[in-house]
Amino acid sequence: STKNDFITILKGSFLRSPEYQHFTEDIIFSKNSETDEYDIIASRMYLVARTTEKKREEVVELLEKLRPLMLINSIKFIAFNPTFVFMDRYSSSVISPILTSGFSVLTILILT
């Protein structure tokens, strides 16, 4: 089986089945004008991470692990979750006051 066979079956059979039609919006195909073959240029995948509301640190840790992977892997992807905006604020709100306090103490020690 080749890439062309896979894409033909994916487009012609799998994505046309009623139980899998909801995936049609998750895959973007591009037709090569020279060879009349289709390529998959983008696809969407959902990753479900089970964390508890009391464990915000887990979500922050997940976000911090995904960001470097987005930059180094050959498969490019975007990690998005609406809570990531709040988790970014949460992670910076923990570190920022500590850094500010440390800088203030250091400044006072130098000036006195």
Q: State the amino acid at position 10 in one-letter form.
A: L
- Sorted by where each begins, the domain ranges of the chain are 1-44, 47-112
Cα dist from 97 to 19, 63, 93, whole Å: 51, 21, 7
Give 4-59 pLDDT, tens digit per residue. 899 999 999 999 999 999 889 889 999 888 888 888 888 887 766 666 666 767 77
Contacts of 31 (CB under 8 A, 6+ apart): 37, 38, 39
Per-residue confidence (pLDDT) for residue 73, from 0 to 100: 63
